[in-house]
Amino acid sequence: TADPADLLVLAEKTAREAGDLVRDKREAVERMAVAGTKSTPTDVVTESDTAAEALIRSRLFAARPDDGFLGEEDGSVAGSTGVEWVVDPIDGTVNYLYGLPQYAVSIAARIDGVVRAGVVHNPASGETWTAVSGGGAFLDGGPVRVSSCSSLSLALVGTGFGYDAVRRARQAAVLLEVVPAVRDIRRAGAAALDLCAVATGRLDGYYERGLNPWDLAAGGLIAAEAGAVVSGLRGAEAGNDLALAATPGVAAELTALLERLGADHD
């Protein structure tokens, strides 16, 4: 079986190379072009998303040709080794499009369906978060830990919104109740970085409905390894219905509030 530490080395090297590619492409133009749209007219893809995913795919398959692959842009490939790579070439594509520095390359390795290694690399800031299951979480090689916040009313909480208007209306209704219950809200625009922010104590909690596996896989592991509670609502695992990451002192209160508001359904 594959060693998660070896998978992380490959993932990190690949994420940095892809990060350099997308940052260079962004810096080369004043205005980035939209190359296409996906679920809605605001769910955009740039040529950098496609180019970065192709690069990541070719590097991973060159090193490990029989692994599986699940990417945001180009679908999935079934493997035969039990290892599956879960890849978001640019998480925070809208920020990238607008020239905002909050975007990241996210690469995770699942072994037999469980995330065991993950890297989130922000090429604009140069910051790189890494984790291997059971080994703690790191930012640029140094250990990171969640904040000591233990009260929802004092918590800085991140969230995000989907691209679908009906879902957004519900998310806004939930937010209306969350805002008065917390210190403040941030909507930074890249789920993987929000999860890493919880890991680093830059946020005390984060929740979002509608995340895809590639948004959640690496950042979720990093947050959990930094001591965050990472879960869904009503006993579920973190996933598309709802993903929450929070300090142990904030998680129960945030979970109870989101359950009461029905934040896991539209």
Strands 142-144 and 137-139: antiparallel
Site for ligand IPD in 55-84 (CB under 6 A): 72
Report the residue number, 6 or 164, with the smaller CB distance to ligand IPD. 164
Phi–psi pair at 126, nearest 5 degrees? 80, 0
Alpha-carbon torsion angle 121, 163, 69, 13, nearest 10 = -10
Q: How far is the CB of 124 from ligand IPD (least distance, A)?
A: 14
Buried b (16+ CB within 10 A) or exposed e, 62-79: eebeebbbbbbbbeeeeb
| Residue 171 touching ligand IPD (CB under 6 A) | no
What mask, x for binding ligand IPD by CB under 6 A, covers residues 210 to 229?
A: xx---x--------------
Stretch that binds ligand IPD, among 59-67, 187-195, 221-229, 235-243 (CB under 6 A): 187-195
User: Which one among 4, 71, 123, 162 touches ligand IPD, defined by CB under 6 A?
Assistant: 162
Phi–psi pair at 143, nearest 5 degrees? -65, 145
For residue 114, what is the DSSP state?
Answer: E
What mask, x for binding ligand IPD by CB under 6 A, covers residues 12 to 51?
A: ----------------------------------------
Q: How far is the CB of 65 from ligand IPD (least distance, A)?
A: 26
C-beta separation of 104 from 122 below 8 A: yes
Directed axis angle between helix 191-200 and helix 213-225, to 10°? 0
Q: Is 6 exposed, middle or buried (0-12, 13-18, 19+ CB in 10 A)?
A: middle
User: Which one among 149, 190, 221, 245 touches ligand IPD, defined by CB under 6 A?
Assistant: 190
| Residue 53 touching ligand IPD (CB under 6 A) | no
| Residue 264 touching ligand IPD (CB under 6 A) | no
73 is in an annotated binding site: no
Stretch that binds ligand IPD, among 77-85, 128-136, 158-166, 255-263 (CB under 6 A): 158-166
Find the residue with minimal CB distance to ligand IPD.
Answer: 160
C-beta separation of 57 from 41 below 8 A: no
43 is in an annotated binding site: no
E strand or H helix that includes residue 138: strand 137-139
Give the annotated binding-site residues: 72, 88, 90-91, 215
* Residue ranges in contact with ligand IPD by CB under 6 A: 72, 88, 91-93, 160-162, 189-191, 208, 210-211, 215
